[in-house]
Chain A
Amino acid sequence: MAERVDSRGLSCPQPVINAHKKMKQMGSGAIEVIVDTTTSRDNVTRMATKEGWGVETREEGEDILLVLTK
């Protein structure tokens, strides 16, 4: 079961900080990050990729779900 980080409505750079913190906590596994702007999507994707995590993006209604795996 993937851990979920809800960063909807948070402004830059909090979605990145929240995702990064969860990644550090878990070390590996699957994290679902839910965001509501393309800027947050791009920022979290860039950071996660740099940290060596895979990123899969899905639209969930008006929100964006990022599944981070390592």
Chain B
Amino acid sequence: MESIVRFFGSKKGIFAVGIFIGVFAALLQKWGNPVNMGICVACFERDIAGALGLHRAGVVQYIRPEIIGFVLGSLISALIFKEFKSRVGSAPIVRFMLGFFAMVGALVFLGCPWRALLRLCGGDGNAILGLAGMIGGVAIGVYFLKSGYSLGRNRKTYQFVGWIMPLIMIGFLILLVAAPKLPSGALFFSEKGPGAMHAPIIVSLIIGLAIGILAQRSRFCTMGAVRDVVLIRDLHLITGILGLLIGAFVANVVFGQFHPGFVGQPVAHNNHVWNFGGMVLAGLAFALAGGCPGRQLFLSGEGDGDSAVFVIGMIAGAGFAHNFAMASSPKGVGLWGPGAVIAGIIFCIVIGFSMREKI
């Protein structure tokens, strides 16, 4: 047990986790997930929002087992390694709104940091703009962190509270398998488009569980990787990103999934300004909330109720983003997308300036 803990706490360990995620993301694409979207936390939460009827974009509706697996895998790992701890109470409404705007930014770009990396490994040059935007957003977040920004302390709470998010995920799994059709039309499952493209449920679930376990152990975080380099010149987390890039790139080349270019890339647009701007917002919101969307899922699986609120904020944000024309599509940026990104950045900056401990 001790040697497992030591391995996953090391650079070698997190590098191996990155390779695993990269290779299996490419394989998930090969086995049915959308192109350059083997794993995308934001897109997959958006698909879940669609399946539940929180938005009616018919091409992006599916309950993604990977998301369920991430939370439950993290729960399993936290229980095995005695790290499950129910805690809540650190600025929940702020975390909800950060999740909301993180999702809006990600859907203007069309992907979270995980997908930005995977898009790059699939040859999509537009991902460079997204990743540059994310680095810029995280750098702004680091400025606030250095200036004393804090969401305040959480506190330990009743054991059951930490189980709420895992139970919600079990509920999603039951809905996915039972697939009830209610008078309202829900559940909604896409018949065409990215939402209709998915690997078999059991395959997605098992890979999700495996990634949940590995990421909980190694603390894999795409935002934290950039933040730690900028903030304290620490290369530990970014070693995981390097692993992901290498794993996904090599696997994509081997499977014939690497197609370089900017134009006509799958589930992507090439408006450089808003690819960049959307991810500035997402990167900043993730930095202020303390973790990328994957890390928020893993934390919610180990009992962190505040991260669970962030996740719910992201799902709500997805509903709004599609209902209010903020989300982009391969045709381009949505009518209200740019305005929503600007509003989101202003919100984050106000939060960054106003929530400071005196230091």
- A residues contacting B by CB (< 8 A) are 8-14, 16-17, 20-21, 36-39, 42, 46-47, 50, 62
Which B residues, 123 to 172, have Cβ-Cβ distances below 8 Å to chain A?
Answer: 145-146, 150-151, 153-156
Decide if B227 is an interface residue (CB 8 Å cutoff): yes
Stretch at the interface among B22-30, B82-90, B249-257: B82-90
Additional A-B contacts beyond A13-B224, A13-B228, A42-B9 (11; CB < 8 A): A9-B153, A11-B154, A11-B290, A12-B291, A13-B145, A13-B231, A13-B290, A14-B145, A37-B85, A38-B83, A42-B219
Name B234's contact: one of A10, A38, A39, A46 (CB within 8 Å): A46
Question: Which residues of A sit under 8 angstroms from B359, Cβ to Cβ?
Answer: 21
The answer to whether B87 and A12 touch across the interface, beta carbons within 8 angstroms, is: no
| Identity of the chain A residue whose Cβ is nearest the Cβ of B146 in the assembled complex | A17
6 tightest CB-CB pairs across the interface, nearest first?
Answer: A9-B153, A11-B290, A9-B154, A12-B290, A38-B83, A39-B219
Least distance between B155 CB and chain A CB atoms (Å): 6
The answer to whether A10 and B150 touch across the interface, beta carbons within 8 angstroms, is: yes
| Identity of the chain A residue whose Cβ is nearest the Cβ of B231 in the assembled complex | A13
With A9-B90, A21-B359 given, is the CB distance from A14 to B234 under 8 Å? no
Question: Which residues of B sit under 8 angstroms from A8, Cβ to Cβ?
Answer: 153
Give the docked Cα–Cα distance between A12 and B236 (Å).
14
| Identity of the chain B residue whose Cβ is nearest the Cβ of A38 in the assembled complex | B83
Give the docked Cα–Cα distance between A31 and B346 (Å).
38
Decide if B306 is an interface residue (CB 8 Å cutoff): yes
Decide if B4 is an interface residue (CB 8 Å cutoff): no
Give the docked Cα–Cα distance between A50 and B232 (Å).
10
The answer to whether A47 and B154 touch across the interface, beta carbons within 8 angstroms, is: no
Question: Which residues of A sit under 8 angstroms from B154, Cβ to Cβ?
Answer: 9, 11
The answer to whether B306 and A17 touch across the interface, beta carbons within 8 angstroms, is: no
